[in-house]
A and B are shown apart, each in its own frame.
Chain A
Amino acid sequence: MTSNEPENHPPASPAAEKYSTRRDFLLQAGVVINAVAGFMIGIPIVGYILSSLIKSTPNVWFSLGPVSNFQEGAMRMAVFLNPYHRGADGDTARITCWVRRIQGDQFKVFAANCTHLGCPVRWFEESQLFLCPCHGGAFYADGAHAAGPPPRGLYVYEHKVENGELHIQAGNLPTLASPS
């Protein structure tokens, strides 16, 4: 605080207006400079926070191994490394899916995540059912909803057979919003 000088002048005097204009200018300039700087800092921060949204991670094709690994008419668990994993992911890079080889090159590949609240479903060979341990959701061998709270059948991964290998299209955690 410098002094009370401006107040000593009559308020209507041109001198007072001049002083106050200069102060106003400094204030306005300060606001503008800080707003510009704020945007220059803020936009990258928002971009950083939303980076996972901005970066598109479509499901990609990869092999689950030779078709001969899967017995005809049987369901088996397959574990794959998520295509988007990195070193620090550790075990969490290993994703489970259930593969049913219906006949020949006819397959159906299910995500292990229950469609109710995402708990891992387990296959029971004898009763030909997937059971979810959380709230008792049950699914038939073709993935259809059998009983319990799930709103739909199991999530299905796209698949194809190429050069004798089973390929599936995966990479994102399946949820009701993005089923596969």
Chain B
Amino acid sequence: MSAKERPIISALVNVAMWFERRLHLVKVWKATGGHPIPKSSASWFYVFGSMTLLCFSIQVLTGILLALVYIPSASEAYQSLEFLNFHQELGWFLRAMHYWGSNCMVVVMALHMTQVFLWGAYKHPRELTWISGVVLLVLTLALSFTGQVMRFDSDAYWGIGIGAAISGRIPIIGAQVVNLLLGGPIIGSDTLSRFFALHVFVLPGAVLALVSLHLRLVLLKGINEYPKPGVQVHKQTYVKEYEEMVHKDGMPFVPNGFGKDIVANGLLLLVIVGLAVFIGPKGPEIPADPAQVISEAKPDYPFLWLLSAAALLPNGSEIILFFVFPAIAALVLFGLPFFSNVGEKHYSRRPLSVLIVLIVYLTIGMLTYAGLTGPWSPHMDAWSGTPTKPEFISARPPLELQGSLVLQVKQCRNCHAIGGEGGHRGPDLSDVGMRMNSSELVRQVIQGGGNMPAYGNTLTPHEVSALVAYLVSLRPSNTVPAQNPAIPLRTDRVSSGETTKEAKTGG
């Protein structure tokens, strides 16, 4: 039996050795998958890098498959997306995988970056590994933004419009930058084509190049050992210490250090498939037709926090948000491994770093949440579509009822909620009668101010009276109306004289 097999085996070995002598595969393996890593670095915290790479691989695979059907033309992109969703066999699944793969890539990359930061892995001698990682973050966000344009619906269209509006704020060369961004005078086919070229050729190519550099640096400089509190990084001794550690107490990455990575990657795959199957692809929403002026132009998750910041920062600070802030962020991220290069790596000895991470996560998290709810956006159809709860109408004199109609018909509720229903751009009016007296309300309605337009030219005097009578009445029962703070509170002024008079006239 074995004698019979032997010639086959030796033939196979000969073939293998023929390739080995030409390709030096053993050497390649030893330098890559089999490279030695510190035993301590086989940790659950060290799995995010390979997870990011997995996401990118999913994006490349599903992206190529989507490109088989997708048509990058402003006149046909939308139909080709509908075709993918509803006609192409499993097209919806690939679109969903690509969409959720992209979101997961941003999240996992952020986790990877956070871990690298908190575990001090960016310190000497891994500065370039960190810097190439920062470039990869920028490229990934650029892929995410350009990918959102591929979903050529109204959100994509007006999203580019936002990009153009931001570029138009650049001093001196703003108009030229807008033109280059759009590939012409308007958002059209040339715009989609250049975003397509960026999304499928330029940016993925750049990511591949940068990932190669990133992994090469990981192999050259080694994986960061799991830091111990109290152990300092010294530029003169670190490399030697690390080499000794790996030599004395190291193990090959595959198979010894690979187990946790492969488990985490498998779980991530399940999560992406689960999101794709149970939530499905995003959009396309209504077509990219500029004549349909009903878009809110909400960007995808990775950019919601920027939208929120643009909405919440004081007026006129956009230039800081869009130009100064990115410049500072770039300076901090690229400069980090230079101004924090040595010393402690363990997060328990770096409270400032932990604080920074907490602040960044809380800020982006809260802004993203705010972006999801978008309280600064008027509800464009609240005036015609949102009902008023009975308690805000029932048992009221006719003037107040007229006032409630004015409130509804004049679109006040697009920005003002009553009983929590309506827009949240302005204050909820459910108990405005407790906060403002009638003269204050008249002034506010007629002159506007504090982010409210003036309605002096829009409302007749009678409409103002009715509206104000209604607003004054909006307060919990058994509470007095707001008083003029300059006049001491007197019980006989509880019901405002002028309101009563107007009520009589109006009724």
A: residues with CB less than 8 A from B are 50, 52-53, 57, 77, 79, 82, 84-96, 112-114, 116-122, 124, 126-129, 131-136, 138, 140, 146-149, 151, 171-173, 175-178
Contact = CB atoms under 8 A, between A and B. Distances in A.
Given A92-B290, A136-B378, A147-B452, A117 B411 contact: no
A178 B175 contact: yes
Contacts of B453: 127, 129, 138, 140, 146-147
Contacts of A149: 310-311, 315, 318
Given A146-B454, A176-B165, A92 B174 contact: no
B381 to A, nearest CB: 10
Interface residues of B, number: 69
Nearest to A122: B293
Given A135-B376, A136-B377, A177-B174, A90 B315 contact: no
A171 B188 CA distance: 12
B39 interface: no
B319 to A, nearest CB: 10
Contact of B295 (A119, A173, A177, A178): A119
Interface in B277-321: 287-291, 293-297, 307, 310-311, 315-316, 318
Contacts, number: 208
Contacts of B411: 124, 126-127, 129, 131
Nearest to B169: A176
Contacts of A177: 167-170, 174-175, 177-178
A32 B340 CA distance: 45
Given A53-B180, A147-B453, A113 B161 contact: yes
A118 B162 contact: yes
B104 interface: no
Interface of B: 73-76, 78, 157-158, 161-162, 164-170, 174-180, 182-191, 287-291, 293-297, 307, 310-311, 315-316, 318, 376-378, 380, 383, 409-412, 414-415, 425, 448, 451-455, 457-458
15 contacts: A82-B186, A84-B185, A84-B186, A90-B74, A92-B187, A119-B161, A120-B295, A121-B293, A127-B412, A134-B162, A134-B377, A146-B448, A147-B452, A173-B161, A173-B186
B182 A173 contact: yes
Contacts of A128: 457-458
A133 B75 contact: no
Contacts of B296: 119, 133-134
